[in-house]
Amino acid sequence: MSEPNESQDTQLDEQVAQFADKVLAGQGDASGSHSTAPNDSELAQLQKTILRLHSASQAAQPTPTTTARIRQYVVAEWAKQKAEKERKAKAEKRASWWPLQKNTLAWGGAALAILILTLLVLPNTDPAGNLNGTALDSTMAVMIGLGVLALGALIVWLTRRK
């Protein structure tokens, strides 16, 4: 007993689906059912609903003005967001660059200080090639040495500064 009903249901499913396909492809006839099969009245009702639904979905489409207006707003917001992302990316790049630069400065400063101190403590020779004490003997050398120490202190301060 259930089989004929199932068969009718399947037939109705197919008829409704085919009708929907035709309407959505622009081939639907607004005059309604073309079926002569059983359950005409049920099919006719469903076809009418499909036509109304299709017609209403066309009426529910946005106007070109609405589409353009909302597009303008959304695109402007998109551009703002993009600019903000780029600004943040640059800031992050700067933040990751500075520690590396700080380390480079620290090492460079240390190397320079060592070089200058080395030069200062080297044996001092006169034009004849005779040893004449070290470079530290002269006042100028002391000043240079103090300057190097000051430079070193500055570098340490810079690297520890947050």
Partner 1 sequence: MKRYELQPGNHNLSDEELVRSSQTGSQEAFVRLYERFFPKVYAWVRFKVPASDVDDVTQEVFIAMMKSLDSFRGQSKFSTWMWTLTSRKIADYHRQVRAKYAEQVELDEAIGYPSADDKDAMDHQDDVRIIQRALQALPQNYQDIIKMRFIENLPFQEIARHNGQTLEATKSLFRRSVAALTVQMEAANERT
Residues binding partner 1 (CB under 8 A): 9-10, 12-14, 16-17, 20-21, 24, 42, 45-46, 48-50, 52-62, 66-67, 70-71, 73-75, 77-79, 81-82
Least distance between partner 1 and beta carbon 2 (Å): 15
Which stretch of DSSP H or E encloses residue 118?
helix 64-121
Nearer to partner 1, 54 or 102 (CB): 54
Nearer to partner 1, 29 or 77 (CB): 77
Least distance between partner 1 and beta carbon 30 (Å): 13
Please report the sign of the dihedral spanned by the C-alpha atoms of residue 99, residue 103, residue 109, residue 110: positive
Angle ∠(16,22,28) on CA atoms, nearest 5: 100
How far, in Å, CA of 23 to CA of 52, rounded?
10
Least distance between partner 1 and beta carbon 24 (Å): 6
Nearer to partner 1, 18 or 118 (CB): 18
H helices, E strands: number in the chain: 4, 2
